[in-house]
Structure 1
């Protein structure tokens, strides 16, 4: 995913979509250059790994855009809808596979969101009523946080290789 051309003013929706696409691209950039082993290395007590964070981001795209905004039953979403297990990456999945999964989920999210107004409301069982605007802000927050996590994991992996 290419970082979109920077915009700093314009309609609200254009700004939200730009920032979300930018954070998506930044999240992917955090794993570029990692080997398969580095991407899977557990460097913190939790199950968090660099590849797992990308896998989880794909789940978040499906949950919020396909299931909540688009109204698809979980069984009809494009991939697993398993919450905490969304960080789990199969032995047969490569970093490239997981990046491609996230990019597909992001593309689908854009398509679904294009059909809704920023003020369109949907219901989430535990959060309550949400708008597309809120979903955009949530995803920006989520992906920016995970990009930060991955920056630290990448730094740790690179430092471990130097010793």
Structure 2
């Protein structure tokens, strides 16, 4: 059930950017740096941080993408919406592969969080991606409203 729910919110986050132009996906509609494409980019970072680095024990240098916290929302000019979605999907696929080999109650240490289990990581990611899908839904509503005017 945890895996199903995580996959469900992953798909919901991706759905919020489908059909957006490159300009629309990058448009800042709130005072922060939050953009629709930036939320997906950040989610890919979160997948790498929690599944590859924390759960899988990989050094940050061996994770398959950027590991910068706040900069994780930044999307370079040469990255497309399709590129960022593909990055998030790759990170999710690798997360599934790592988690498949680990018991739900297996624990790891994470500075700032203490002892966490795979079960805890699943719940954290479900919460994180659901929240960001909600943020992106609102940005999508704002974008869609400007199309009608």
Alignment TM-score, normalising by the size of structure 1: 0.90
- Counting matched residue pairs gives 149
Question: What's the CA shift string for 1:21-46, capped at 9, x where partnerless?
Answer: 11101110111111111100000000
Equivalent of residue 13 in structure 2, options 27, 50, 54 = 27
CA RMSD of aligned residues (A): 0.5
Corresponding position of 1:139 = 125
Task: Establish whether residue 114 from structure 1 lines up as the match of residue 100 from structure 2.
Answer: yes
Corresponding position of 1:16 = 2
SS in 2 for 1:135: helix
Distance in 2 between residues matched to 1:29 and 1:96, nearest whole Å: 12
Equivalent of residue 88 in structure 1, options 49, 71, 74 = 74
Runs of 4+ with >6 A deviation: none
Gaps of 5+ in 2: none
Alignment TM-score, normalising by the size of structure 2: 0.99
Distance in 1 between residues matched to 2:110 and 2:39, nearest whole Å: 23
Distance in 1 between residues matched to 2:85 and 2:73, nearest whole Å: 13
